[in-house]
Chains A and B, each alone.
Chain A
Amino acid sequence: MSDMTASDANMMGGDFPNPLHVDAEELRLVTPYFDADYYLASNVDVAHAAVDPLEHFMTHGWREGRDPSINFSVTYYLRANPDVESVGINPLLHYVLSGRSEGRRPSRLLHSERIILEAARPLSIREQEWMAESGGAPSLGPDVLKRALEAVLQERSGLIVSVSHDDYQTNVGGVQNLVREERFGFEKVGCAYLHLSPATAIPNLAPHNSAVDFYFSLRLGSDHLGLVRSEDLLQALSSLRRVGIPLAVVVHHLLGTAPEVVEDIAALSSIPAIIWVHDYFTVCANYNLLRNDVRFCGAPPLDSRACGVCVYGEDREAIRPRIEAFFRTALPIVLAPSEAALSLWLSTAGLPYQVSAAQPLARIVLASHPSPHGVPPNRPLRIAHLGARLASKGWLAFERLVLRFAGDSRYEFFQLGVPGPGVTTGAVRNVPVRVTSEAPDAMIEAVAEHRIDAVVCWSTWPETFCYAAHEAVAAGAFLLTHPGAGNVPALVAGPAAGQGLILPDEEALHALLEQNRLGPMLSTGRRRGVLVREGGTAAWLLRSAEWPRFHREMALARANNAAVEA
């Protein structure tokens, strides 16, 4: 035990006596099964004590239920093997010496997925916890709101009212980026942009009760106005309509809102309300269509056996009539961020609509010539996961890949994004990356800077528009994905053809690496590129048949305004 003093040992081990003797042969045997980085990241106290992590595990750690790697669970091994527990042997040593050859499992079957499965709870339960955390009192009276809207409409002659689940200025993500982008687009053509998000964020539809007020948080242009009662908002918008101001309603998400309230607002729209399919919330309460949070379900009929055993089955049943009523009344225009998303929505939603179209969030433009930078000789291939360690984004498949090839000198593994959630194997190197409105290309730059050769994009749900996949290709990386990842395989089959591979399953992914087939694919010349943002709703509307009418109404409103001023 190199740097550990007796007092250190006592401090860390609680009531343990002085450091126990560690047999050198035992250390040698367990070393290949011990992940020091994982151990230190999981046990901050050990890291602070600056002791040898393996020796700590062998003397104290296993007795305290600390795991030697992400692959081995001390608690599980002892629970599943009472014979080992009864004799008080170090479970990892037992596994190495005999358990492995006897076919004993080092950890619970499908442990990572089962953790997610066991944590899955209906929205109706989760929303109670959210509601306890958020909320607020209205700060904006009807007169103040009306004056604010009138003031901005002095300069502009049309009003876009958009609805989404949160404030796009204070939250980061694909939908938020799009809202920001389309605001600029609309403002450029003379429209004011009023954004509504529920004052109380919940992961469900808000309850609808005409006796209880619903509050929106309002942002006009870039200014946060405050909270307003939906009735007051409706009154203010109605009065604008009465004086001829054209109004268009864009619904990015219904989460957290009462669709009945949004429906009343949509009724004021001069053109059919536009609703986006950023995910599949209008199809199921699990907006990723992940049954029990672990498997793509395909949105089967509500009365199916699958929905019967899904934690979201009852939520889906509860919200469906309200979503249906919204679509029936609003008969909206449906926009999806990819053809893949639109196609899946059309085949599963069963909801009435007027027009549907795909409006990609961004378009990739690749250089006409391959990048001169290939994989340097004798350097391991660099394979990465982009973004947070989220199961829905394919983290578990990536982690399994890493664990399969950890220690293999042919490969190096990276995660570009926030270092979490959770602790992972020490065989993954984290590169912190944060994409913001100020640094929208931060991920592309990081992928290029770290010379990432391939990105595994193994999303477990059909992505509607996967920025990470586009960023990977734009940075010149080779994309590895599977057929169920939504618009990612569409990207590989289309704009990024030749710069990616669609593999049927994880087994094929592992075989690709095992059989050295990835390297030659990377040497054929990858191209770098740029992501061109496509303008969101504004770009689509300006191209649509609805725009001339809306534009005429804007001109009339301008004329009226001028007449009043004169």
Chain B
Amino acid sequence: MPQWRPEGVSEVHCFTSASFAYLDRVRVLAETLRRHHPDWRLWLCLVDQEPPGFGFDGNHEWLAGVVRVTELGIPDLCRQLFTHDVVELCTAVKGPMLHWLLQRGAEKVVYLDPDIAVLGSLSEVEALLDRHDIVLTPHQLEPDECPQAIRDNEIGSLKYGIYNLGFLAVSGREEGLRFACWWRNRLLEHCYDDVPGGLFTDQRWCDLVPAFFASSYVLRDPGYNVASWNLNRRPITIATDGTILAGGSPLKFFHFTKVNSVGEVMLERYAGGRIEVFELMQWYRRRLVAHAPALLPKGWWAFSCYADGTPIPREHRRLYRDRPDLWQRYPDPFAAGPAAFEAV
């Protein structure tokens, strides 16, 4: 169990959630958060286990502590690990981790996705939590006009969630705790990428927040959570005084979603012909290279394979999720191996 260090100096506890494959991103998040908020404490919820020969010591990272998925008191953990893919599991633990922090007395908690880099002060969020219990940032703040942007962004939000859950801030007051309990419970049961079924991991759940929690707040500053899905309405500019602006507002954090794959295509599509976006992307890539963990096998995730090393297909995860009879038959599905599910 990580040591909880309430020092009274800081009221803000940040956390992120990742597997080792995103450790480089976690480090960039930690590095940039520390630059702007050296007094905030960043926790990593680690959804992974070390591969053989790979050393990881949370004490040597810029972290307040590391909380492993096994330490969150998740019921029937083995089933949860098996029924989720890496994205689903890394998002599913956000509810339990938030709950974990609030239960230990954290007064203000901020969640940031590991692929976020903090580029400005988030003090406004800290202040907002004095008056509100849940703070959310929408994917978009204003309507799009061009048909492709409507399809990509507005319809995207209707499918994947109005609010981007790369960011979330919650107070330690009663209402904040009530939200954390609700979210935790939903995510433990229904945190799947199932858009036709009305779910998209942890994110679509928060569409309900403004209705369920009266003290929630929608943060409408365009400097927060800038990403490909809102870039066309928030052009990035860099002024000669050195400030970086998004839609005219000082940039607080940029969400580098899938920056090394499809994310680049979307950034290109909505960069508005401005080189500054690519400057940010190039900077972020340089930081990733500087923070790449040594000796981590490519594509590593401890829960991606059966015990015999066979990759677990998505259908097997879904099958096990939907068939409670299999829970009895294979209490440890990882050990059961692929043959057990192919035969079903």
Are B240 and A298 in touch, CB under 8 angstroms?
A: yes
- With A300-B242, A305-B242 as given contacts, are A117 and B279 in contact (CB-CB < 8 Å)? yes
B273 interface residue (CB < 8 Å to A): yes
Chain B neighbourhood of A110, CB < 8 A: 271, 273, 275, 278
A429 interface residue (CB < 8 Å to B): no
B103 interface residue (CB < 8 Å to A): no
- In Å, the complex CA distance between A285 and B244 comes to 21
Rounded to whole Å, the gap between the CB of B83 and the closest CB of chain A is: 31
- Residues of A contacting B: mostly: loop
Are B241 and A294 in touch, CB under 8 angstroms?
A: no
Instruction: Give a binary string over A70-104; 1 marks a CB under 8 Å from any B CB, 0 the rest.
Output: 00000000001000000000000000000000010
Chain A neighbourhood of B242, CB < 8 A: 297-298, 300-301, 304-307
- In Å, the complex CA distance between A291 and B279 comes to 9
B238 interface residue (CB < 8 Å to A): yes
Chain B neighbourhood of A298, CB < 8 A: 239-242
Are A305 and B275 in touch, CB under 8 angstroms?
A: no
Most buried by A among B271, B273, B276: B276
B282 interface residue (CB < 8 Å to A): yes
- In Å, the complex CA distance between A120 and B283 comes to 10
B107 interface residue (CB < 8 Å to A): no
- With A306-B238, A306-B242, A306-B243 as given contacts, are A295 and B275 in contact (CB-CB < 8 Å)? yes
Instruction: Give a binary string over A265-292; 1 marks a CB under 8 Å from any B CB, 0 the rest.
Output: 0000000000000000000000000011
Are B240 and A297 in touch, CB under 8 angstroms?
A: yes
Chain B neighbourhood of A300, CB < 8 A: 239-243
Chain B neighbourhood of A108, CB < 8 A: 268
B120 interface residue (CB < 8 Å to A): yes
A118 interface residue (CB < 8 Å to B): yes
B69 interface residue (CB < 8 Å to A): no
Chain B neighbourhood of A296, CB < 8 A: 240
A-facing residues in B248-303 (Cβ within 8 Å): 251, 265, 268, 271, 273, 275-276, 278-280, 282-283, 286
- With A109-B268, A305-B251, A307-B242 as given contacts, are A117 and B119 in contact (CB-CB < 8 Å)? no
B-facing residues in A303-337 (Cβ within 8 Å): 304-311
Closest to A110 in B: B275
Closest to B265 in A: A80
Rounded to whole Å, the gap between the CB of A83 and the closest CB of chain B is: 14
Rounded to whole Å, the gap between the CB of B119 and the closest CB of chain A is: 6
Binding site for A on B (CB under 8 A): 35, 119-120, 148, 238-244, 251, 265, 268, 271, 273, 275-276, 278-280, 282-283, 286
> Which 10 residue pairs of A and B lie closest in terms of their CB atoms, listed nearest first?
A304-B242, A298-B240, A300-B242, A306-B242, A309-B283, A305-B244, A109-B268, A292-B279, A306-B238, A113-B275
4 additional A-B residue pairs with CB within 8 Å, beyond A114-B275, A120-B282? A105-B268, A300-B241, A307-B242, A309-B119
